[in-house]
Chain A
Amino acid sequence: MKKEIQISMKDVHKSFGSHHVLNGVDLDVYKGESVVIIGGSGTGKSVSLKCLLGLLTPDSGTIKMNTKNIGMLFQGAALFDSLTVWENVAFALLQNRLINRTEAKKLAIEKLAQVGLGKEVADVYPADLSGGMKKRVGLARAIATNPDVIFFDEPTTGLDPIMSDVINNLIVDTVKKLGATALTITHDMASARKIADRIAMLYQGKIIWIGSVAELDKTDNAFVRQFVAGSANGPIKMEVKAN
């Protein structure tokens, strides 16, 4: 049976002035799978994600997504400071007037429970939460509308290894429960191995390798091998500019 494509990027280019960030990104993500894009800093991961979310307009190429119901977990959670935790979680439902405030709060508490948070956090403000708790609330907000596609931007950045693993497990569980398609960008290999069905490597604005987690360890692609090993020696040269 042919798999249905949920997200498709074809020859996507994006430049900022003379700086070419995306140089023809091609990527298909199938319905229900979890794809992780890995790559070093400045390789175009965030720009790719912003193009997919419609926050940036590509210079050329095509992006297709088979749904408008999406969720997004931001790197710093991006919770709204002026709203309580439950109002953050239920924000999309409240603003689009899909349910009333009483129902919205009930649903928000359910979603918070799904990410391992008790109802006592529902009425506190984001400023009172730890980094890990903010990520959980961000995840609860991302899944509040039962989205078809969820995007994750560096979900484990800034967390300790144990909390990172907790978040990774939550991501895997929630995505599976929803039956959603997931696209994650990260440079955390432990996270990528845990979350991904397939891993794609972005380098100099292009996808240079894509394969399963099992294939990742067997590949003879020198760029991927260097990145996975975290070695300074190899074809990937980090730009270090001295002032």
Chain B
Amino acid sequence: MKLDLGFIDALGRMTLRFFKSAGELVIFTGQAIYHSLTPPFYPKEIGRMMVEIGFYSLPVVALTTLFSGMVIALQTYAGFSQFSAEGSVSLVVLVAVTRELAPVMAALMVAGRIGAAMAAEIGTMRVTEQIDALSTLNTNPMKYLIGPRVIAGVLMMPVLVLIGDIIGICGGYLVGVTKLEFNATTYLISTWNYLKPMDIISGMTKAAVFGFIITLLGCYNGFNSKGGAQGVGQATTNAVVSSSILVLIFNYILTEMFFKM
């Protein structure tokens, strides 16, 4: 009897490819952390990336968190009013925005905007030999390209999320006061009273981790792209998809860590 090993062969190849990629990513992560923390630093590049991530992502993050806060206020009211618990709307908006919506929405927006741009830029540099050129000019590409992006991502994501928190809560407030006819002063006071430092800290911690994931995967996919325009396109897609998935996975892990705090 002839045994068809085609399936096992394909499965074996896939498994090997997965572990190879995972190993490469782990090594790249280690290198990225090392090169981000050791000199020489490139302040001009770090500054450029901070503006790119922090400033230019602000409109899209502001819009998404504003509308998320507004939707949460409406939906919470619709549910809670059935149990005469409308007074908790401000609490739910506060917790949902600071702990979940602002960090996750901001991360997904930044992954689409910055992760893709980084993968495309670095990928193009790879296929046009600009990364090789850096090496021949006595400049370590990991330090010059990856370090500044990772540093900027880790520093600027919490800033974006903090702004997103304020705007998201304002969104909830707007809907609460104008649509649901809450008293403006009462809403603000209850929001302030419910606010716990851990709400903000957990959101900002998530943001820093997400910033690391997004910039790391954008850089990793760009750095390892090959095969011209098609390879750069593939790297861009991979960067956005993989960082979005990892953001959601790490969101759960971090939420569980902060669950009882």
Residues of A within 8 A of B (CB): 50, 53-55, 70-72, 74-76, 78-81, 91-92, 95-96, 141, 151
Distance to closest chain A CB from B140 (angstroms): 10
Residues of A within 8 A of B124 (CB): 81
Q: Are the CB atoms of B138 and A55 closer together than 8 Å?
A: no
Residues of A within 8 A of B15 (CB): none
Task: Decide if B135 is an interface residue (CB 8 Å cutoff).
Answer: yes
| Cα separation A72 to B139 with both chains bound (whole Å) | 14
Which 10 A-B pairs give the minimum distances between C-beta atoms? Answer: A78-B133, A78-B129, A72-B136, A92-B137, A74-B129, A95-B139, A78-B130, A91-B137, A55-B132, A92-B138
Q: Are the CB atoms of A74 and B133 closer together than 8 Å?
A: yes
Residues of B within 8 A of A (CB): 42, 124-125, 128-130, 132-133, 135-139, 144
Number of A-B contacts (CB under 8 A): 45
* 18 new A-B contacts at CB < 8 Å, known A75-B129, A78-B133: A53-B135, A54-B135, A55-B132, A55-B135, A70-B136, A74-B132, A76-B128, A76-B129, A79-B133, A80-B125, A80-B130, A81-B124, A91-B137, A92-B137, A92-B138, A95-B137, A95-B138, A95-B144
Distance to closest chain B CB from A242 (angstroms): 21
Residues of B within 8 A of A54 (CB): 135
Interface SS of B by simple majority:
helix
Residues of B within 8 A of A91 (CB): 137, 139
Distance to closest chain B CB from A12 (angstroms): 19
| Cα separation A137 to B70 with both chains bound (whole Å) | 54
Residues of A within 8 A of B144 (CB): 95
**Closest residue on chain A to residue B44 by CB atoms:** A94
Distance to closest chain A CB from B152 (angstroms): 15
| Cα separation A52 to B85 with both chains bound (whole Å) | 73
| Cα separation A151 to B132 with both chains bound (whole Å) | 13
Residues of A within 8 A of B133 (CB): 72, 74, 78-80
**24 CB-based A-B contacts, threshold 8 Å:** A50-B132, A53-B132, A53-B135, A55-B135, A70-B136, A71-B136, A72-B136, A74-B129, A74-B132, A75-B129, A76-B128, A78-B130, A78-B133, A79-B133, A80-B125, A80-B130, A81-B130, A91-B137, A92-B137, A92-B139, A95-B144, A96-B139, A141-B137, A151-B136
